[in-house]
Amino acid sequence: SYVLTQPPSVSVAPGQTARITCGGNNIGSKSVHWYQQKPGQAPVLVVYDDSDRPSGIPERFSGSNSGNTATLTISRVEAGDEADYYCQVWDSSSDHPGVVFGGGTKLTVL
Amino acid sequence: QVQLVQSGAEVKKPGASVKVSCKASGYTFTGYYMHWVRQAPGQGLEWMGRINPNSGGTNYAQKFQGRVTMTRDTSISTAYMELSRLRSDDTAVYYCARSGLYCSGGSCLDIWGQGTMVTVSS
């Protein structure tokens, strides 16, 4: 089955730029979605189809996807961005197609 | 507004079954796939499967095949997830989530329920 690999943690100072990666075999050929999850809350979609933002998500959130790595970029990081972030794709390559999540990355705002 | 409201917390004994409901409002229930995702304490997100509310057709993750059943009642815009032969490692928060039609192939999950805590303990 398809595997997505994320770093367990990323730390950044307020006002700086955070980059969270998501690695997968030829992930550039797939559409990648990103979710933000704060403690005790349900996940929220922040980027879809590699780089699009749902209504209401700040422009500070952006994404890219090429080769074997997709990246979520958060510009001008704020304390309120501290959360877990998950990447996700649809894997149609196996006998059991379905949603695949990365292991998640904890973003700490220093 | 568009929302998914799930049933309340459950405590079950090992070997029992649990059925979680997810009531949709604010949109056409039969127009969007409904997914189920779980999250064990301190762990990541794990996809369990999805149901097409229009046809009732389902796709289950291989890990849960034979133990999970997803159904729906279109008359009350509600989806259900039943997990049988519960074990202690099934203790988790269970979420329903809607497919986002604006995403490629409807593959993203744009609206999530609030989650239902299921505890399996003897």
- Give B81-106 as a 3 state SS string: EEECCCCHHHCEEEEEEEEECCCHHH
Please report the pLDDT score of residue A95 as a whole number.
80
Sheet containing strand A69-74, strands side by side:
A18-23, A69-74, A61-66
Q: Which residues pair with B69 in a beta bridge?
A: B82
A-chain residue closest to B106, CA distance: A90
Q: Does A24 touch chain B (CB under 8 A)?
A: no
Of B46, B49, B110, the CB nearest to A45: B110
Please report the pLDDT score of residue A1 as a whole number.
87
Please report the pLDDT score of residue B64 as a whole number.
97
CA A93, distance to chain mean position in Å, is 21
The DSSP letter of residue B61 is -
The answer, yes or no, to whether residue B95 has pLDDT greater than 90, is yes
Residues B4-61: tens digit of each pLDDT: 999 999 999 999 999 999 999 999 999 999 999 999 999 999 999 999 999 999 999 9
Residues of A in contact with B22 (CB under 8 A): none
Instruction: Quote the CA–CA distance of A85 and A103 in Å, as a whole number.
Output: 9
Residues B53-86: tens digit of each pLDDT: 999 999 999 999 999 999 999 999 999 999 999 9
Please report the pLDDT score of residue A87 as a whole number.
98
Residues A55-105: tens digit of each pLDDT: 999 999 999 999 999 999 999 999 999 999 999 999 998 788 999 999 999
Put simply, the answer to whether B59 touches A97 (Cβ < 8 Å) is: yes
Instruction: Quote the CA–CA distance of B39 and A42 in Å, as a whole number.
Output: 10
Q: Which of B50, B108, B114, B116 has the most A C-beta neighbours within 10 Å, making it the best mutation to test the interface with A?
A: B108
A-chain residue closest to B110, CA distance: A45
* Residue B4, min C-alpha distance to chain A (Å): 11
Helix (H, G, I), strand (E, B) or coil at B75: helix
- Give me the mean pLDDT over the A12-22 stretch: 98
